[in-house]
Amino acid sequence: MLVDPEPSAPQPMKPHYPKLSPRRGWWRDVMEIVALIVIIYTLVNLSTARAIVEGPSMQPNFYTGQLVIINRFAYYFNPPQRGDVVVLNNPTEACKDVVKTRGLIELPFLSQNTSNGQCEDLIKRVVGLPGETIEIKNGRVYANGTELEEPYITTFCTVGCDGTWTLTEDQYFVLGDNRRNSYDSHSFGPIDRRLIVGQAWIRYWPLPDVGIIQHPAYGPVSPTYAAPTATATAPHPRQKSSPGVSGEEQGLEVR
């Protein structure tokens, strides 16, 4: 009579641990480092740009030779705000073709400067928002009849600067801080939103001026237009007599 052998007890299984092998070609390390550098460089340059300030139109807050970083993503989710220092494509008719070319998506290290020297980007401050009526009287700016307090202005333009502009729902009014010597919405009127490249974010040269570009605080502005009261007032304490706006403009050499 055959008897089945007694089944053997199961043997415990040895755990298998993943092994990391230090053996890899040096060329693979080099390629990974190069790929990482290219990815970081591309992302940084697609989201920001470096620019050199040229011209007097933003004095005394920006001077020729200062270097600024432009945040191109600043307005992807939120619109420009009053007081923002922005970089915009030159809105003049002669620069339309150049602006259209710049609108193409290009890799930073392959893009070429298509500017002919007359169509450089401009740096200005937003003072008027979509749908507002902007009025300038004696150099003072009124948004929907509310006078804007502008502590960053030292000299107001009082000759040849006054006017009234009504903005559409996609337009902004931009001015230089040097009101008597700036090529801005005084000259070319309100600008379309699509012309705004980004926000001037950080000033990184010269070293004494390094820092985040400050945003001024404004009081509440009326949501609807009300004409300013036509009363004779004394000049503002900061206001100085000045000539009209000249053709000088402040450009940016974008890197």
User: pLDDT tens digit string along 192-205?
Assistant: 999 999 999 999 99
pLDDT (0 to 100) of residue 45: 78
- Please state, in angstroms and rounded to a whole number, the distance separating the CA atoms of residues 159 and 19: 79
User: pLDDT tens digit string along 192-242?
Assistant: 999 999 999 999 999 999 999 999 999 999 988 877 665 444 444 444 334
160 phi-psi bin (left φ>0, alpha ψ -120 to 50, beta other): left
Q: How many CB atoms lie within 10 A of CB 92?
A: 16
- Mind telling me the catalytic residues? 57, 124
Q: Note the Cα 140 to chain centre separation in Å.
A: 24
Mean pLDDT by 10 residues, the chain (255 residues): 60 66 74 90 82 94 95 93 96 78 43 58 97 95 96 90 95 96 94 96 95 93 78 43 47 56
DSSP bridge pairs for 49: 70
Q: Is the pTM of this model over 0.85?
A: no
Domains annotated on the chain, with CATH: 51-105+119-254 (2.10.109.10)
